[in-house]
Structure formats: structure tokens, C-alpha cells
Amino acid sequence: MKSLGPKFKRLRKEQNITLTAAAKGICSTSNLSRWENGKIQITFDNVMKLINRIHFTPTEFIGNSETDNDETLPAEIRQVIEAGDTVKMEKLIAYYLDLYHQNRKFFDLFLAIVLCNQYLLIKNKNLLPFSDQMRLYTHLSQIKVWSSFNLSFFGNCVFMIKSDRVFAIAMQIINNQDLIPKDPTFYNLITMMGVLADASISLIFRKDLKRAKKLLNALERIKLSQVFSFFKMTLNFLQEVVRYMENGEEDDILEFIQKTVDLGMNDAANTFIDVFKRAKELR
């Protein structure tokens, strides 16, 4: 456990988390400082708490980021989301927001946001209070190391905060992509590209086409290997959606979708059709 201290110190500093803030309620600042410098050992339980404090899962911290964010969600939340039960969603949103307001633990806000995002997709109504939207933006704008948890956090709120802030955070992620924990399965990079594609869709649907084009152009400059061909196709499709929103011409986008079908990528084609239908409604 002693050997993990220096790595923790580096990740803590990269996120601008103070020694006092990291240690609060877990251990003394002096013991944390000594552990970070490899001078003492601390208990396994406290190591797990400290890792969570800097917004990492244990597997990410150790270096293997092959994790499933769904595993962090309580079973009750997963069941409500799968059932699409908006009545229970409202109750759980109120419950987790109350918890967050009492203890200021961002994981409680994260759970509320996951539910708010699902509710918004179903009801087209944002239940996240404006004051919490501002706290959320402040929190996201201060993140330096984008773990899969932090990426998931942002991905669940791209439709709930203002478009200029969505764009600013998305560009921050791109500019800090070298700090995203590396893993042999590319899990975090896949998560990043998926989240930023959703951010682009959010900007398009809000008709913030100028920022949408800037974000898509920045994403296209990211060097991706062949295994990321689906994301390259998605970015090309979203560029077509932007052009459609600008000029109303459907031929190119319909041809793009048909080519996707011809390639046997039916799931992708269905996703593209859903996005295009929504774009037509909003234009």
C-alpha cells in the first residue's frame, strides 16, 4: 500500500485537490502526506476511500480501466431506468438531490444526474435545479484527469447544462486527453469518444451549429486506430447532420444512412435514423 502513495499524490495534484480536502474524514493530513511520500503504510480501507475521493475506481487507479460504470449504480436505479418509470425517477431524483444538499458528496449528485438525464430523454424536462447545474459546471470545469467515472459524469449531463459550457468542457477533455488513464482495451478512449459524440449531438439539437462544427472538427483531428472506425463514421454522419440543419437538404444524409445499411451496420443505421428524425423535428 505504501508504493501507491506517490501515484495518488500525482493524480491528486493533477486534479487540483488539496491535501486537506483529500484527507478530510478519512485520515490526518500528516499521515496522508507521509503516505504520499512513501514513508508509511495506511489501511486498505482508507486507500479505497482516498481513491474514491479523487474520482477514480480502484481498477482505474491501479492501471486496468476495464470497468463498467453501470456497476456503480444501485440496483434500484438500474431497475427504474430499464423500466422507464418516470414516477419513481422523480422520487429518486428528489431523494438523491436532498442527500447531496445535506452532505455535498458528488457521487449523490452523480446518481441524481443519471436519473435526471433519463427523465429528460423521456419527458423532455430538466429536473436538475439551476443552482445544481452551476455547481455541476464548476465541478466539471475543475477536472484535469478524466477517468471513466468523470467521463460518465459529463456524459450524463450534456443535455442539462448550457451549450457554451458543454462545448468548453468537451474541449477541455480533448486538450487534456493525454491525462486520460491508458489501458490495453482502450476502454477510456472509447468512453471519451462516445461522450464527446453525445456532446456534439447536444449542440446540434440546440442549434448551436457553430460550436458543434468546432467540436466535430477537433474530434476529427484526434488520431484513431482502425478499431475506432465506427467513431469515424459517426463523426462523418454528424457533420452531415450539421449541413442538413444549415441548408435543409436531405439527399446526402439519406445516402449516408443507406450506405450504412448496405454495409450491414443495422444498429448504427437505426441510431443515425433516430438522430436524423430528431434533427428534422427541431429544424
Per-residue confidence in pLDDT tens, the chain, 283 aa: 446 788 888 888 877 789 999 999 999 999 999 888 888 888 767 887 888 788 776 556 655 333 444 446 788 998 999 899 999 999 999 999 999 999 888 788 889 999 999 999 899 899 999 999 988 888 888 887 788 778 888 998 899 889 999 999 999 999 988 877 676 667 778 889 999 999 999 999 999 999 999 999 999 999 887 767 888 899 999 999 999 999 999 999 999 999 999 988 888 888 899 999 999 998 8
Look at residues 218, 233, 249 and tell me which one is the last residue of a structural domain: 218
Question: What amino acid is encoded at 169 in this protein?
Answer: I
Asked, for residue 109, whether it belongs to a domain, the answer is: yes
* Closest to 212 measured CA to CA, from 192, 233, 249, 237: 237
CB atoms within 10 A of CB 235: 21
* Closest to 117 measured CA to CA, from 92, 142, 99, 100: 92
Distance in angstroms (rounded) separating the CA atoms of residues 32 and 185? 32
Look at residues 218, 240, 267 and tell me which one is the last residue of a structural domain: 218
Same domain, 76 and 99: yes
**189 contacts: CB under 8 Å, gap ≥ 6:** 180, 228
Same domain, 91 and 187: yes
Same domain, 84 and 211: yes
- Residue 230: which domain range? 223-283
Same domain, 106 and 184: yes
Same domain, 7 and 49: yes
Same domain, 42 and 72: no
Q: Which three cell numbers stand for residue 121?
A: 430523454
Distances (CA, A) of 5 to 17, 56, 193: 15, 14, 31
Structural domain count, the chain: 3
* Closest to 196 measured CA to CA, from 174, 227, 223, 163: 174
* Closest to 267 measured CA to CA, from 257, 276, 277: 257
Same domain, 72 and 152: yes
